Amino acid sequence: MSETRIGTKCVQSGYTPGNGEPREIPIIQSTTFKYATSEDMGKLFDLEASGYFYTRLQNPTNDHVAAKITALEGGSAGMLTSSGQAASFYSVFNIASCGDHVVSSSSIYGGTYNLFAVTMKRMGIDFTFVSPDCTPEELDAAFRPNTKAVFGETIANPALTVLDIEKFAAAAHAHGVPLIIDNTFATPVNCRPFEWGADIVTHSTTKYMDGHGAAVGGAIIDSGKFDWTKYPDKFPGLCTPDESYHGITYTERFGLEGAFITKATAQLMRDFGSIQSPQNAFYLNLGLESLHVRMKRHCENGQAVAEFLNGNPKVAWVAYPGLPGDKYYALAQKYLPNGSCGVVSFGVKGGRAAAEEFMRRLRVAAIETHVADARTCCLHPASATHRQMNDAELAAAGVSPDLVRFSCGLEDAEDLIGDIAQALG
Ligand SMILES: *Cc1c(COP(=O)(O)O)cnc(C)c1O
Residue 204 Cβ < 6 Å to ligand 1: yes
Nearest to 47 by CA among 241, 275, 201, 277: 241
The model's pLDDT over 179-218, given as tens digits with 9 standing for 90+, comes to: 999 999 999 999 999 999 999 999 999 999 999 999 999 9
212 and 354 housed in the same domain: no
Neighbours of 413 (CB within 10 A): 17
304 and 282 housed in the same domain: no
The per-residue pLDDT for 421 is 97
Per-residue HEC secondary structure of 219-274 comes to EEEECCCCCHHHCCCCCHHHHCCEHHHCCECHHHHHHHHHHHHHHHHHHHHHHHCC
The model's pLDDT over 238-297, given as tens digits with 9 standing for 90+, comes to: 999 999 888 999 999 999 999 999 999 999 999 999 999 999 999 999 999 999 999 999
Last residue of a domain, one of 243, 268, 286: 286
Nearest to 217 by CA among 68, 30, 377: 68
The per-residue pLDDT for 151 is 98
Residue 152 Cβ < 6 Å to ligand 1: no
297 and 262 housed in the same domain: no
Helix 60-73 × helix 278-289 angle, to 10°? 30
Using most ligand atoms within 8 A of CB, pick from 89, 108, 109 the residue to mutate for ligand 1: 109
274 and 305 housed in the same domain: no
223 and 303 housed in the same domain: no
The per-residue pLDDT for 1 is 52
Nearest to 274 by CA among 231, 326, 223, 217: 217
The per-residue pLDDT for 43 is 87
Last residue of a domain, one of 241, 256, 286: 286
Q: Which atom of ligand 1 is nearest to the CA of 371?
A: 15
Q: How far is the CA of 300 from the centre of ligand 1 (A)?
A: 23
The model's pLDDT over 330-349, given as tens digits with 9 standing for 90+, comes to: 999 999 999 999 999 999 99
| 3-class DSSP assignment, residue 107 | coil
Q: How far is the CA of 108 from the centre of ligand 1 (A)?
A: 10
Cis peptide bond upstream of 324, omega within 30: no
The model's pLDDT over 308-327, given as tens digits with 9 standing for 90+, comes to: 999 899 999 999 999 999 99
The model's pLDDT over 163-182, given as tens digits with 9 standing for 90+, comes to: 999 999 999 999 999 999 99
The arithmetic mean of pLDDT across residues 121-142, rounded, is: 97
Across 229-256, b (16+ Cβ under 10 Å) vs e yields eebeebbebbbeebeebeebbbbeebeb
Residue 85 Cβ < 6 Å to ligand 1: yes
Q: How far is the CA of 180 from the centre of ligand 1 (A)?
A: 15
% of the chain beyond a pLDDT of 70:
99
| 3-class DSSP assignment, residue 184 | coil
% of the chain beyond a pLDDT of 90:
88
Which segments of 83-154 are extended strands (E)? 101-105, 126-130, 147-153
| 3-class DSSP assignment, residue 50 | coil
Q: How far is the CA of 263 from the centre of ligand 1 (A)?
A: 23
169 and 300 housed in the same domain: no
In a domain, 1, yes or no: no
The arithmetic mean of pLDDT across residues 215-230, rounded, is: 98
What is the residue range of 318's domain?
Answer: 293-424
| 3-class DSSP assignment, residue 207 | coil
- Rounded Cα distance between 80 and 269, Å, is 10
Contact 348, 316 (CB under 8 A): yes
Last residue of a domain, one of 230, 251, 286: 286
The arithmetic mean of pLDDT across residues 340-363, rounded, is: 96
Residue 12 CA from chain centroid, whole number: 22
265 and 122 housed in the same domain: yes
105 and 38 housed in the same domain: yes
The model's pLDDT over 21-59, given as tens digits with 9 standing for 90+, comes to: 999 999 999 999 999 999 988 888 887 888 899 999 999
Total residues found in the chain within this entry: 425
DSSP output for 321-372? TTSTTSTTHHHHHHH-TT---SEEEEEETTHHHHHHHHHHH-SSSEE-S--S
Using most ligand atoms within 8 A of CB, pick from 85, 191, 208, 220 the residue to mutate for ligand 1: 85
- Where does the pLDDT of residue 356 fall: very low under 50, low under 70, confident under 90, or very high at 90 and above? very high
The per-residue pLDDT for 50 is 84
The model's pLDDT over 380-413, given as tens digits with 9 standing for 90+, comes to: 988 888 888 788 877 766 778 999 999 999 999 9
229 and 337 housed in the same domain: no
Q: What's the whole-number average pLDDT of the chain?
A: 95
In a domain, 106, yes or no: yes
